[in-house]
Amino acid sequence: MKISNGLKIAAIYASVFLGAGFASGQELMQYFVGFGRIGLLGIIVAGVLFALTGWAALRVCRREGVRNYHELMRLLFGSKLGSVMEGMVVLFLFSLFVAMLAGAGATGREAFGVPFTVSAFVIAAKVFFVLCFGLTGVVRINVILAPFMLLGGIFIGLYSFFAHTSPTFAMLSGRNIGMAWLLSAVIYASYNLVTGVPILAATAEMATKKRDAMIGGLLGGGVITLLGICMALPLFLHYGNVISLEIPFLYIATYHGASFRLFYLAVLMSAIMTTAACNAFAVTEWLKSYNKFIVAAGVCIIGLVFSHVGFSNIVAYVYPAFGFLGLFKIIVILWHGFFMRHCT
């Protein structure tokens, strides 16, 4: 059976958000679970922003004949501001690459007792190998690992929750103050869309019909929302035990036995590898006027050095810093996609 372009776009779009921060449970803990049960509503709010912004971005690209992110930024923000926005996004993409290396280091240390630097170096070396094959290498690794990550993540979350002796929602308090949960959800969606929109712009040519844009954005946002809820549920059950861990879900996976733990680690490392490769590739493409191999090696080496800042620190401080940039972008994209005249 032939898969529609809309479904292909949705699958690519959803897989963008399943990096180490998400698959480890670190992002879910910091931006949703810590607020108590209302954090589930926060996941839904973020999912709605993913869906609507994705749909709007694809509508704009299809309507204006946009072929890549460079053209989209100049269309939305003009030449000068568009260049600034593009440079900021590349900086964030590099930060995400650093976060993936830090996540790999933390996983190796907590799961196998391997030194942080060794685990991070292994992923950096693999990313360099993928970058040597350019876009072909990045596409192949995503085609192989993306379905496994998405389906595996949903299974892990649901099994961890319902296999518990008496599953129940956590009664958490503390951070659940006023509308802070809503701001947290918006910031989470905003910084993720800093990287999500470039991917959508790259796939825009696949949206040959209006329904492709709608399916790609709405279904992609829906899938990541479902995945987020499924993986957040077990974090509520074990909140007190995982709050201080770099890889919260590793504790939960270990709770369910050695086989389940190995399966989870496979999903986590797949998420780390694909996200690291995609972000590093985007950075090297921006610098493609220089020697490809030297740039790739430089990005990997510098990323390895900065990864020692620590995974949870990057998620807590670096990600939100780019959230406001993403929020500005969301507002502009929604306006161009749904409220300007002649939308098709």
Residue 151, pLDDT above cutoff 60: yes
Are 251 and 245 in contact by the 8 Å Cβ rule? The answer is: yes
Are 216 and 344 in contact by the 8 Å Cβ rule? The answer is: no
Residue 321, pLDDT above cutoff 70: yes
Residues 50, 37: Cα–Cα separation, whole Å: 21
51: pLDDT confidence band, cut at 50, 70 and 90? very high
Tens of pLDDT, residue by residue over 29-47, are 889 988 888 899 999 999 9
Range with lowest mean pLDDT among 84-98, 119-133, 161-175, 222-236: 161-175
Across 77-81, 197-201, 286-290, which has the greatest mean pLDDT? 77-81
Residues 83, 60: Cα–Cα separation, whole Å: 19
pTM here is: 0.81
**So what's the pLDDT on residue 254?**
85
Q: What is the 3-state secondary structure (H, E, C) of the chain?
A: CCCCHHHHHHHHHHHHCCCHHHHCCHHHHHHCHHHCCHHHHHHHHHHHHHHHHHHHHHHHHHHHCCCCHHHHHHHHHCHHHHHHHHHHHHHHHHHHHHHHHHHHHHHHHHHHCCCHHHHHHHHHHHHHHHHCCHHHHHHHHHHHHHHHHHHHHHHHHHHHHHCCCCCCCCCCCCCCCCCHHHHHHHHHHHHHHHHHHHHHHHHHHHCCCHHHHHHHHHHHHHHHHHHHHHHHHHHHHCHHHHCCCCCHHHHHHHHCCHHHHHHHHHHHHHHHHHHHHHHHHHHHHHCCCCCHHHHHHHHHHHHHHHHHHCHHHHHHHHHHHCHHHHHHHHHHHHHHHHHCCCCC
Across 138-142, 300-304, 319-323, which has the greatest mean pLDDT? 300-304
Average pLDDT over residues 157-171: 68
**So what's the pLDDT on residue 176?**
47
Tens of pLDDT, residue by residue over 224-282, are 899 899 889 888 888 888 888 878 888 888 888 888 888 988 888 888 888 888 888 87
Bigger pLDDT: 156 or 176?
A: 156
**So what's the pLDDT on residue 44?**
96
**So what's the pLDDT on residue 169?**
54
Tens of pLDDT, residue by residue over 8-22, are 788 778 877 777 678
**So what's the pLDDT on residue 186?**
93
**So what's the pLDDT on residue 3?**
66
Domain residue extents for the chain: 5-337
Q: What b/e sequence results for 114-149 when a residue is b if at least 16 CB atoms lie within 10 Å of its CB, and e otherwise? A: bebbebbbbbbebbbebbeeeeebbeebbeebbeeb
218: pLDDT confidence band, cut at 50, 70 and 90? very high
**So what's the pLDDT on residue 236?**
86
What is the longest distance spanned by two Cα atoms in the chain? Answer: 58
**So what's the pLDDT on residue 343?**
46
Structure tokens at 245: 């861990």
> What is the fold, at CATH topology level, of the domain defined by 5-337?
Amino acid/polyamine transporter I (1.20.1740)
**So what's the pLDDT on residue 200?**
81
344: pLDDT confidence band, cut at 50, 70 and 90? very low
Residues 39, 62: Cα–Cα separation, whole Å: 35
Q: Which residues contact 17 (CB under 8 A, 6 or more apart)?
A: 50, 192, 196, 224
Q: Which amino acid makes up residue 4?
A: S
Average pLDDT over residues 306-328: 80
Are 193 and 332 in contact by the 8 Å Cβ rule? The answer is: no
Residues 268, 247: Cα–Cα separation, whole Å: 10
71: pLDDT confidence band, cut at 50, 70 and 90? confident
Residues 326, 187: Cα–Cα separation, whole Å: 8
Tens of pLDDT, residue by residue over 165-200, are 555 555 455 454 678 899 999 999 998 888 888 878
Residues 104, 99: Cα–Cα separation, whole Å: 9
Average pLDDT over residues 310-314: 77
